[in-house]
Amino acid sequence: MNINSVEKKFVYIAIIFGLIIMVLTPPFQSPDEDSHFKKAYVLSKGNIFPEEQGGEAGFELPVEMVQYIETEKNKAGDFDQKAEFKDVYMKERLPAGYTESKFYNFSTARTNPLGHCIQAFGIICGQVIAHILGVKDPSVVYQLYFAHFFNLLFYVTIIAASIKLTPILKRTFTMIALMPMSLFQATTTSYDPILIALAFLATAVIFNIIFNEKVKEVDWKYFLLLGIIAYIFIAIKIVYLPLLFLMIAIPKEKWGNKKNLLKKLIVLVGTIVTLLLLFKIITPSLNLTQSNNNILAHKQMLYVVKRPWKYCIIFLNTLIRERHYLISTTIGTFGLIDTNLYCLFLGIYIFALPIVGISEMSLDNKRIRVVDRLAVFISVAAPIFGCFLAMYIYWTSVMEGYGIGASEITGVQGRYFIPVMPTIFMLFSNQILCRNNKIRKGMWNIVDNSYLIITGMLCVSVVAILLRFWC
């Protein structure tokens, strides 16, 4: 395998197809983009923390902007609604004309600003360019595209660094990062692509420590980086924190003596605690009214605590019943979760990805111990289980038709599992396969030609988005 240019090929493919997907997806036609953009927008205006009005947390937003966002959002699921180039073009070019502002509460109002600082920086850069170009009042669509572009740049940069750093599974990292769903997410204002990129980076760092023979002892700088990533997981989506359990697989000799081990753990834990305390200090306290949603979530949590085995059965039944939806939203679902790839292409990817991953892991010829497999299982299973548990407590409990003790978990999408996917393939290292020359040669061909599958799927995805929104 020629691995020297893997990250370069990733960058080329990601930028080309990412920009195409970004242009073809109409404004606010991606999951939760309304709330994510609102948070990025207020951050770009220097409003870092929410205010309190009427017992709710929120921000002042232009009324005309919110009305436009709501109009676009209401097109979800209506395949007869098609975008018009003229409308998008004029909306992007014409001045915003905002004359009135109003206090709004939205789902991301209280989230940590780190999740939207990249998108906010993009909006700020867009405003600077607007000033240079003489555009005095840039529109919401104009600012939205800058937020998209900077999110894409961050995603591509961090993933490319991860691919370069990891000593194993470079093509598998690439194949997962270029999944239609992954790249579609990267072209939105969501914080999901930031979490995916940081999860890939954390995985690559730990893989480098474990498998890179040049790393004789763990550098404390690795733990500083992992501590920062761990804090971001805690601040935005804590369910991904167990991914760091993969550190259990680090060989004893690379930890150094007990004194060095203690110092490195202090760096890791100290970084997390310091950042938690810092944000706690600078975040203003709000006197918020306890909502009915919070009451229901508390009741749902008590239900799970009292009936853990029953919840486990609900969890397994949901996995079985919703498997098609979960697979679709992992590999390729576009728009406001209303446009899936044809089942043929879902089948191709779900078949090809494991083959590429298992082949590459086996060709990397790394010995995986029982404790390593246990670490992988924990670091993958815990975030997945956590996603379902969080949605059962905070989402299923408030959804009409479900509620407390519902027999099914709703709201979970397969895209939530993307951050942990590269780690899974560490389980499948099989040195026996490499003993047969014909099998070994076949695996090399499969891995080397994985780009054909990647580009083919992205071409199909571009066509699907084009047909869905424009034709």
Q: What is the per-residue pLDDT across 378-397, written as a single tens digit (0 to 9) for each?
A: 999 999 999 999 999 999 99
97 — pLDDT class (breaks 50, 70, 90) = confident
pLDDT interval class at 4 (50, 70, 90): low
Which amino acid belongs to residue 325? Y
Q: Using one digit for the tens of pLDDT, what is the confidence trace for 356-367?
A: 999 999 888 888
Q: How far is CA 55 from the centre of its chain?
A: 31
Task: Assess contact for 191 and 36: CB atoms under 8 A.
Answer: yes
Tell me the β-bridge partners of 340. Answer: 333
pLDDT of residue 1: 45
Q: Cα 396 from chain centroid?
A: 21
Q: Which two tokens stand for residue 275?
A: 């950042």
Yes or no: say if 236 and 191 are a contact pair by the CB < 8 Å rule. Answer: yes
Tracing tokens 């930028």 back to the chain, one arrives at 15
Residues 6+ apart with CB under 8 A from 255: 217, 218, 261, 264
Whether the predicted pLDDT of 289 surpasses 80? no
Continuous segment of H or E residues that includes residue 186? helix 180-186
CB distance 108 to 116 below 8 Å: yes
If one compares 318 and 431, the residue with the highest pLDDT of the two is 318
Threshold 0.85, pTM exceeds: yes
Report strand pairing: 101-104 vs 56-62: antiparallel
Residue 2 pLDDT > 60: no
The two structure tokens encoding residue 187 = 């072209």
Structure tokens at 363: 């060709």
Among the residue ranges 56-60, 197-201, 283-287, the one predicted with the least confidence is 283-287
Quick one: CA dihedral 52, 56, 61, 63, positive or negative? negative
| 332 confidence band (pLDDT: 50, 70, 90) | very high
What are the structure tokens assigned to 412, written together? 């979970």
Cα torsion angle, 177, 195, 154, 160, sign: negative
Which residue type is seen at 404? I
| The one-letter amino acid at 331 | I
3-state secondary structure of 333: strand
Q: Could you give the CA distance from residue 377 to residue 272 in angstroms, rounded to a whole number?
A: 24
Q: Which residues pair with 333 in a beta bridge?
A: 340
* Rounded-to-integer distance, Cα 30 and Cα 190, Å: 9
Q: Minimal CA–CA distance to 64: which of 96, 36, 90?
A: 96
Cα distances (Å, whole numbers) of residue 383 to 138, 227, 234: 40, 18, 12
Partners of residue 444 on adjacent β-strands: none
Distance CA 267, CA 224 (A): 6
Tell me the pLDDT of the chain averaged across its residues. 91
pLDDT for 3: 47
Cα 112 from Cα 279, distance rounded (Å): 9
C-alpha span between 48 and 45 (Å, rounded): 8
Q: Residue 324 has what pLDDT?
A: 93
103, containing H or E segment:
strand 101-104
Q: In a 3-state reduction of DSSP, which class is residue 340?
A: strand
Tell me the CA distances in angstroms from 75 to 23, 96, 304, 416, 462, one per residue in order: 18, 21, 36, 24, 20
Q: What is the mean pLDDT of residues 229-255?
A: 93
Tell me whether strands 333-334 and 101-104 are parallel, antiparallel or unpaired.
unpaired
Predicted local confidence at residue 330, as pLDDT = 95
